[in-house]
Amino acid sequence: MSLRILGIDPGLTRCGIGVIDAAGGRRATLVHAGVVRSPSDAPIDRRLLAIARGIRAAIEEYGPDAVAVERVFSQNNISTVMGTAQVSGIALLEAAERGIPTAMHTPSEVKAAVTGSGRADKKQIQTMLVKLLGLEAPPQPADAADAVAIALTQLWRGPGPVALDSTGGARTSAQAVWARAERESRRARERSTSRH
């Protein structure tokens, strides 16, 4: 059974969207990578509306089993943090309204999950995405690649720092599907090994 994850790299000008399907055994395939844009000269309410519509359209088109959003971290530029936080809230709300489990991951968690190092740069992440997903080139622009990396992090690491349910971390249907796929893959490998 396949598991589909929508990763979101929140941003007010460019919000990255990445969709992957689990293929079992830590393998995944890229379904979609892109960005939702809002005009930087528009009023904040119109910009947030544009982003909300884009996220909503992605959720409705791709029907993810879980949505993962990059967790906002403190930067020097407070206006950038505010916009990113507002977009994060929209993404979480759009998923919650549809009953889709959500999680958040910090940038360092994403880097560590994809490259093995929490200090990796964007180029290293993009290089690993090409290898891990069997792509000819990394998703463009960088916001889209970041969103794909966030989706992969959710696929491999599970709930992340934000619990996926009100009980504080019980397994969701999405996690259960992934765990079942992992078990089936492990059993198949064991059967194959025992025959040789």
Show which residues are catalytic: 9, 70, 143
**Neighbour order of strands in the sheet with 102-105:** 27-37, 14-24, 4-9, 66-70, 102-105
* Residue 143 is labelled as binding a ligand: yes
Residue pair 58/19 in contact by the 8 Å Cβ criterion: yes
Rounded to whole angstroms, the Cα distance separating 108 from 71 reads 10
Is the separation of the CB atoms in 144 and 151 below 8 Å?
A: no
Chain centre to alpha carbon of residue 132: 15
Q: Is 9 annotated as a binding residue?
A: yes
Annotated binding-site positions: 9, 70, 143
Annotated binding-site positions for Mg(2+): 9, 70, 143
